[in-house]
Structure 1
Amino acid sequence: MTGDMIKDAQVRIGGTFNEPYVSIDMTGTGANVFADLTEKYTQRRMAIVLDDIVRSAPVIREKIVGGSAQITGHFTHEEASDLAIVLRVGALPAPVDIIQNMTVGASLGQDSINKGLSSGLFGALLVVGFMFIYYRLSGVIANAALALNILFLFTGLAIVSATLTLPGIAGIVLSIGMAVDANVLIFERMREESSIGRSVRLSIDGGFAKAFSTIVDSQVTTLITAMALFLFGTGPIKGFAVTLSLGILFNLFTALFCSRLFFDTLSSAKKISKLNFMQFIGKSKLDFMSIRKITFTISGVFVFLGLIAFVQIIRGQANLGVDFT
């Protein structure tokens, strides 16, 4: 007798002591085969086998006709539920196709974590070095704010008892890049204010004021994406979304408040006499508005291709990896 002869299997409560039992309903063919088996093997055990493993072996008490049967015993509700699931699974034809075959060593996880931490630390050091060399004192302030950002981020992860995973490390690295991007926007606005002859104090005020909306827009739109990943993603994706969301929130605080506090403190103490920045590329002489039709056309083509790809994904025609199955 095979699993495709079973129509359904459910947990019921009954008997003298109201104990859980498994109720089985069979197909027409299954009812006839089951009647013959129970008549032939009365008072013997009938094994229930799934994946070549005997899941249960109840004793056949009598001939059973009608296509319905009960498996009784001293089951807990969980044990009865597990047996019912086994019977229902056995009724489903499920061919197995090997999509991906991987051999994972015992040290792979720790090795991946070590490499992830090393790459994250190396990237952070490059960013810190660039900010210090290119923006001088302002870069030092940005690095101090970045250090506070990372401290707050790990504190937040500890408070919510989040587990640090490889996607989580990627989220931290991305949030570091976004923190630096926020400071770069502020410093470039400061450069513009300083280039037209404004004082240090006015340049600082103008830099933060003019970069405020751009920073908030970029951070909030990314935060919305991170929230969507958290709501609809699975475990590793949620880890990435958590670290990225916390990083964005602390980015806003450190870039707009902590950095401003450092600048205001140094400016009030007359420690900043001039804003010094390096500049690799001079002011562009390209008239960007003159090529707007070309850029609009290119953007439209890429948007159209993206819509086609999105439709293909919805139709199930995309070549997705094993993570999406």
Structure 2
Amino acid sequence: MVIPNIGAFIAWGLITALFIPTGWLAKTNLDWDWDAITGNTVGPMIKYLLPMLVAYTGGKLIHGHRGGVLGAVAVLGVIGGASFELSSGAVGDPPQFLGAMVIGPLAGWVMREIDKYLEDKRPAGFEMLINNFSQGIAGVILAMLGYVVIGPIMSSLATAFGNMVEGISDAGLLPLMDLPIEVGKVLFLNNAINHGVLTPLGSTDVAETGRSIYYMLESNPGPGLGLLLAYWFAGKGLAKLSAPGSIIIHFLGGIHEVYFPYVLMNPVMIGAMWAGGIVADIVFVIFDAGLTGPPSPGSIFAYISFLPSSGGAVAGVFLGIAAGAAAAFVVGAILLRLFPVPEIDDSDDDTSLDDAMEGVPLS
């Protein structure tokens, strides 16, 4: 479901890196309404377009074009029914990629079973009408199922991850915060965790000591860099070929979302992210490293702009990023050798007109 859509994720990452209010072009003298551009392009793409592509692909894998269309319709119900509120009071509406990966194949299966049942029961001349209405009615039912059941379940998961981060922080087990943070990140809860939990904690630290480690726990670009390097070194097919471009968007542009699909396509790779994050956090703690403000987006350039004045803390920031990248790369390369991603290239995505019309007899 994820691999064929990596190009769309990269396109969204480039648009985000260029056009958000803290992006590359916003730092120039162009007198554009960056907030409007973000609201009209970046937001709708991550909230609607990308989950719909994932759900469409999941449905298509089960029952061709008809299954894909039903998956795209159904995921809108999931999107509409998902929101969360953390115990800290932060409210969010995260992109529903996990919901799309659930409802897409389900919709494809439902469409396949409906078409099987109706195959010999369609009167001559009414095939197109019955096909269209059966798909439309199934779309209504599945969209409501997503809104009432699947969306709220996804919301509960999001709330649980955010509150887990808060609980670990309150217990003083800082390096272990990376376990729920990385899982939450690849489910596109990164902004909720960062701005809803970590940034308020960091602001308190800065008021007392002038810098905070909390600003680096979620935004550290090191582990993501290591993961993408591992795919470049040990991956195959489209994942390997797209990794260099994703590295630029992630590490230099600060758009971490571009590496999330690389974990979703092979969930065992969360181990590489845990290794990189925990190692980086340990280095940060040893050197008492921290930033003076929240880096947004989380690129190496944003880190440089928020470096503290203390030399030891500055060294700790860069060492932590490097250590996190090295650990994620080593563990990621090993995991890719043990659990390789299926090799998919552009040719595997080609669909003929006959395939697209599968299950849709013409009258």
Which fold has the larger relative contact order, with Cα–Cα distance below 8 Å and residues 6 or more apart in sequence? 2
Which has the larger Rg?
A: 1
Q: Which TM-score tier does this pair reach, normalised by the shorter chain? A: under 0.3
TM-score, normalised to structure 1, is 0.28
- Larger helix share, 1 or 2: 2
